[in-house]
Structure 1
């Protein structure tokens, strides 16, 4: 990505703030979103995020939704627009990003969005679906730790949808997830990106 990645992985980005707006333009939704330096893909909607939003299925079960690594909120706001009766958690370590999500949700009238640091999501909250353009560039170990923190919180019958660039290890990530006990398949491939569908571990789904 054009901006230095360490900025948007930090809780408080070191780069000076410089706000701007971009258009989120999807077949069923158009919003003007506030972005800022130090936040992932602040100049335009990331291509992988667009692939995810245009192709990932809607949740199959009832319950809260999670945008993991939300940035300024394009995934969370789209989910909240499409699923207005659900609560959508927008989670990020980046405080600047979370403030943008709050402002963007308020401007769009989407009251179901909850922007939160990872530790501020109550431990008993479970998710019908997780949607994420995960931070691949944090490194394999950190990425694996992140996924192992959140994927066990999927509800029975739920799923996670992850968009990963093909040349950044989407296939190896899918293998690792399956080997770790989360059945994973490639849902589709578009423009060099894979959308992976990840199901709960078998020990969770046996309660269905």
Structure 2
């Protein structure tokens, strides 16, 4: 069941193991990824994820980068490969997916990425950490309210010059999400559109300036 990949423990949810590998082949890299049942898109790299990785500009070469809702890690591992001097953080609720991502990091000799459970993240990475880039194929199917809470939590962790790139299919609410992000104060634009998927570029919320007549 697809719901298994929203749980911390797919074993307890009845998702029996079926280990496999998939290949992620992009113009600039080739990664072999470990997969299993009970994670998102275990049989192939999800089309939306591939479009995101094809369409986004290169990540910042330095700083902290985040894959939000990383699954078994195709986005996080691409970030790590494309920005070897950066620190890449990958967060999810699914422990099996995170174990697979960590195995793939070892397989592909990428030592600049860490995979962390959502509930452990702030203790391990630091709640005050700010991200120069966030890349995400966000978990749309958790529901609009839960998705909005997730994005509100993480998008305010962008650095002032940072940006997030999100991939969402138009039939799953990409355009309404675009409008919601704008109304919540995150300047949002459509960076690319392909096969029904939208790549939304979300800038950090502007920092309010000092009130008139006051100095910072």
Structure 2: unaligned runs, 5 residues or longer: 211-216
Corresponding position: 1:78 with 2:82: no
Corresponding position: 1:139 with 2:136: no
* Residue deviations 1:141-184 (CA, integer Å, cap 9, x gap): 00001001100000011000000001110000000001011111
* 8 Å contact kept, 2:5–2:39: yes
Deviation at 1:191, TM superposition (A): 1.0
Give 1 or 2 for the bigger CA radius of gyration: 2
Corresponding position: 1:190 with 2:187: no
After superposition, residues 102-113 of structure 1 pair within 5 angstroms as: 102-113=102-113
Following the alignment from structure 2 to structure 1, what is the Cα–Cα distance between the partners of residues 134 and 75?
10
Following the alignment from structure 2 to structure 1, what is the Cα–Cα distance between the partners of residues 38 and 192?
30
Aligned to 2:6: 9
Deviation at 1:32, TM superposition (A): 1.3
Aligned to 1:164: 168
Aligned to 2:177: 173
Q: Secondary structure at the match of 2:207?
A: helix
- When normalised by structure 1's length, the TM-score is 0.94
**Paired residues, number:** 203
Following the alignment from structure 1 to structure 2, what is the Cα–Cα distance between the partners of residues 181 and 58?
25
Following the alignment from structure 1 to structure 2, what is the Cα–Cα distance between the partners of residues 33 and 59?
21
After superposition, residues 60-99 of structure 1 pair within 5 angstroms as: 62-99=62-99
Structure 1: unaligned runs, 5 residues or longer: none
